């Protein structure tokens, strides 16, 4: 089993229940309904997401957090992902030392915010159709709608649906 490198440099064994508990807290903080099965499923998706980031049996806790936020955002739980980001931000404002630490990672956190902002993508791609279908978030604004259109145009210009279809056919 692999191990986690914590922010303070300590190394601990991987424990998926810690991921599940963090996700559960974020759901509760946003009053988002969930079941234990949903939490367990998301935790498993997170562990699959960060597998490529494991090096020599170790992974940094920040890489796990990135995966949690990515999986939540892709799964339609943007509000929960935002609550998690806010929790991370609050951790950096606990004391003077943590505030100084934040200065070193601020640009990375800002990049992460952009990466997990559903408005950057416009919506989720629906596979299993002949043409690109982008399902926009229910609270989509003009920026989100514009990015959904850009995403559909990219699918058409790159003929991605046809490429996916041909790849799937070659696997049969």
Burial of 133: CB neighbours in 10 Å, binned 0-12, 13-18, 19+:
middle
The CA distance from 79 to 138, in Å, is 12
Asked if 147 and 122 count as a contact pair (C-beta separation under 8 A), the reply is yes
Distance CA 141, CA 162 (A): 30
Q: How high is the pLDDT of residue 54?
A: 92
Distance CA 127, CA 22 (A): 30
pLDDT, tens digit (0-9, with 9 covering 90-100), for 24-50: 988 888 888 899 999 999 999 899 889
CB count, 10 Å around CB of 130?
8
pLDDT band at 119 (very low <50, low <70, confident <90, very high): low
Q: Whole-model pTM?
A: 0.54
Residue 138 CB partners (closer than 8 Å, separation 6+): none
pLDDT confidence of 72, banded at 50, 70, 90?
confident
C-alpha closest to that of 112 among 59, 159, 72, 152 = 72
pLDDT for 124 equals 63
């Amino acid at each position: 089993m692999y191990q986690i490198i914590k922010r303070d440099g300590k190394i601990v064994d991987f424990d998926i229940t810690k991921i599940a508990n963090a996700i559960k807290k974020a759901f509760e903080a946003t009053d988002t309904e969930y079941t234990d099965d949903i939490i367990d499923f998301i935790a498993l998706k997170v562990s699959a997401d960060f597998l490529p980031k494991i090096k020599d049996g170790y992974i940094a806790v920040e890489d796990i957090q990135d995966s949690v936020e990515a999986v939540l955002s892709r799964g339609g739980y943007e509000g929960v992902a935002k609550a998690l980001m806010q929790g991370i931000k609050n951790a950096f404002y606990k004391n003077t030392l943590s505030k100084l630490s934040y200065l070193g990672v601020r640009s990375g956190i800002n990049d992460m915010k952009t990466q997990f902002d559903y408005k950057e993508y416009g919506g989720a791609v629906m596979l299993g159709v002949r043409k690109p279908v982008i399902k926009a978030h229910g609270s989509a604004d003009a920026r989100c709608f514009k990015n959904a259109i850009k995403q559909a145009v990219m699918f058409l210009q790159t003929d991605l649906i046809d490429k996916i279809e041909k790849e799937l056919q070659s696997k049969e």
